[in-house]
Amino acid sequence: QHLVYLDLNACICEAAFNIESLKVEVACVYHLQIPDEKSSKGLLPIIGELKCCGNVLDGAESIDYIGQLASEQKCIEAFVDDWVPKRLMKLYIDFCTKSSEAPNKKLLKKLYNLEVSEDEIILSDCGLQDLSISPLLEALRSHKTIAMLDLSHNMLGNETIESLQQIFTSSSQTYGGLTLDLHCNRFGPTALFQICECAVMTERLEVLNLAGNRLTDGCSSYLFTILQKCKG
């Protein structure tokens, strides 16, 4: 048995208690706080039943009840159904440790997503900026395989695209379709130029979403070049 500490308020979604959010929170916090053999191998727990004071939590509990549990610091028993490998998540945490940075909790929860494959990386709305995304970019460089990358609704600029260009250029993965969702960031015309210059990226590209960025009419030639080269 292991004891982990977490904030139950993180499991309140749209003014309601979310049992699935609690399970994800438990899994991520366990991985961060308990450095056991499974954690060292990048294995994360799949949380099944949750119990408090002998009662099974089913998600129907009120916010007031959950708030009471938090204020009284009650223990919640979590039962592990299985273990799942999350290599990219482990790489990200390792690079955060190397750079003495605290992992982004929102990003961790999305990397844990059990409903997507390891080459589908959906990290929208994580508050990422060019500096804070550095550990993730290093993890992607080691991870190598990317079929979908969603970095939408962050605060990323051209520096991130330059790093992504280097990652795709150095990757041995030159096959398979690629979806890049980069809408609602701070990318400018230089970002499109960098995508144009990356042959591996454009040859694999099937979907590119750059809506809501700082693009100008002068970007039309870059867009035309990308459309000529891409698979889609």
When pLDDT is cut at 50, 70 and 90, the band that residue 218 belongs to is confident
Q: What is the 3-state secondary structure (H, E, C) of the chain?
A: CCCCCCCHHHHEECCEECHHHHHHHHHHHHHHHCCCHHHHCCEEEEEEEEEECCEECCCCCCHHHHHHHHHCCCCEEEEEEEEEECHHHHHHHHHHHHCCCCCCHHHHHHHHCCCCCCCEEECCCCCCECCCCHHHHHHHHHHCCCCEEECCCCECCHHHHHHHHHHHHHCCCCCCCEEEECCCCCCCHHHHHHHHHCHHHHHHEEEEECCCCCCCHHHHHHHHHHHHHCCC
For the domain spanning 87-229, the CATH number is 3.80.10.10
Work out the average pLDDT over 126-132: 96
pLDDT, one tens digit per residue, over 42-57 is 899 999 998 888 888 8
Domain ranges of the chain: 8-85, 87-229
When pLDDT is cut at 50, 70 and 90, the band that residue 121 belongs to is very high
Work out the average pLDDT over 69-77: 78
Q: What is the pTM of this model?
A: 0.87
